[in-house]
Amino acid sequence: MSIFLDCFDPAAIERLSHLGVVSGVTTNPNLISRETEPFNLRERIEKICAAVSGPVAVETTASEAAAIVAQGREFYSWNPSQIVIKVPVSMAGYEAIAQFERKHSIPTIATCIMTFAQGYAAALAGAHYLAVFWGRMREAVSSPEEAVILLRERIESEKLRCSILAASIRGPHHAVEALSAGAHIVTVSPQVLESLLKHPGTDETVARFAEDWRCARERGLMS
């Protein structure tokens, strides 16, 4: 199991990578659209690659299979040792995933998955990762748990070479639910990662221990 960061900010990725718990990054057009200053996409992706040791996912936005493959190959050429191409599941998307994986040996993330069937089809098309949109499925009143449990069963019984990546994580509870249901990876925002790692009880206990330690020293108990 591992944790990726769902983030387009190299500084935040750099800061959180030092914790030793982050092993990859996912980006998407929505995160990109939140930028306020103009930027060069290639330079930004290269900075993100330098800030994390592990896969960095870049999403294609074309709609025809040939155009998706052309766009993805361009992105992949920027850093073949880290970049993974995200392809939204669609008829053209499945075709592109099969080409990336089988013709060009380019690893893919099948993304925007909202059902077991979409995920299973992407696994059969050869995708390395299946990005199941946990939060959006919840918001659409469908069961992400069911989809992930069934996908995990298929992956193991058919020995499919792919990992379930739970995405669209709205809070630490979703991350825990997804990992409990069998997701191999969760991708979370920096805020959700920090919430996952912190607990007020821990802070209180550590403060109490520090006080106990100080008192023990003050009373000359400990040399």
CA atoms within 13 A on the CB side of 102: 11
Whether 103 is a known active-site residue: answer no
Instruction: Say whether residue 136 binds ligand G3P (CB under 6 A).
Output: yes
Which residue's structure tokens are 């935040």? 12
Report the residue number, 7 or 65, with the smaller CB distance to ligand G3P: 7
DSSP string of 83-149, one letter each residue: EEEEEE-SHHHHHHHHIIIIIS---EEEEEE-SHHHHHHHHHHT-SEEEEEHHHHHHTT--HHHHHH
Q: Residue 26 in contact with residue 131, Cβ under 8 Å?
A: yes
Binds ligand G3P by CB under 6 A, chosen from 4, 16, 26, 125: 26
- Number of residues located near ligand G3P, criterion CB under 6 A: 10
Q: How far is it, in rounded angstroms, from Cα 214 to Cα 193?
A: 32
Report the residue number, 7 or 96, with the smaller CB distance to ligand G3P: 7
Stretch that binds ligand G3P, among 76-84, 122-130, 132-140, 145-153 (CB under 6 A): 132-140
Q: Residue 14 in contact with residue 45, Cβ under 8 Å?
A: no
Q: Residue 169 in contact with residue 134, Cβ under 8 Å?
A: yes
Q: How far is it, in rounded angstroms, from Cα 13 to Cα 140?
A: 30
Instruction: Say whether residue 30 binds ligand G3P (CB under 6 A).
Output: yes
Report the residue number, 140 or 215, with the smaller CB distance to ligand G3P: 140
Closest to 52 (Cα-Cα) out of 103, 101, 4: 4
Instruction: Say whether residue 193 binds ligand G3P (CB under 6 A).
Output: no
* Catalytic residue of the set 47, 86, 103, 159: 86
Stretch that binds ligand G3P, among 62-70, 130-138, 173-181, 198-206 (CB under 6 A): 130-138
Closest to 123 (Cα-Cα) out of 146, 83, 152, 143: 152
In the three-class reduction of DSSP (H, G, I as helix; E, B as strand; rest coil), residue 10 is classed as: helix
Binds ligand G3P by CB under 6 A, chosen from 187, 192, 193, 196: 187
Write down the least CB distance from residue 95 to ligand G3P, Å: 21
Positions 151 through 170 that interact with ligand G3P (CB under 6 A): 167-168
Stretch that binds ligand G3P, among 24-32, 99-107, 198-206, 212-220 (CB under 6 A): 24-32
Stretch that binds ligand G3P, among 72-80, 115-123, 128-136, 156-164 (CB under 6 A): 128-136
Residues marked as catalytic = 86
Instruction: Tell me which residues touch ligand G3P (CB under 6 A).
Output: 6, 26, 28, 30, 133, 135-136, 167-168, 187
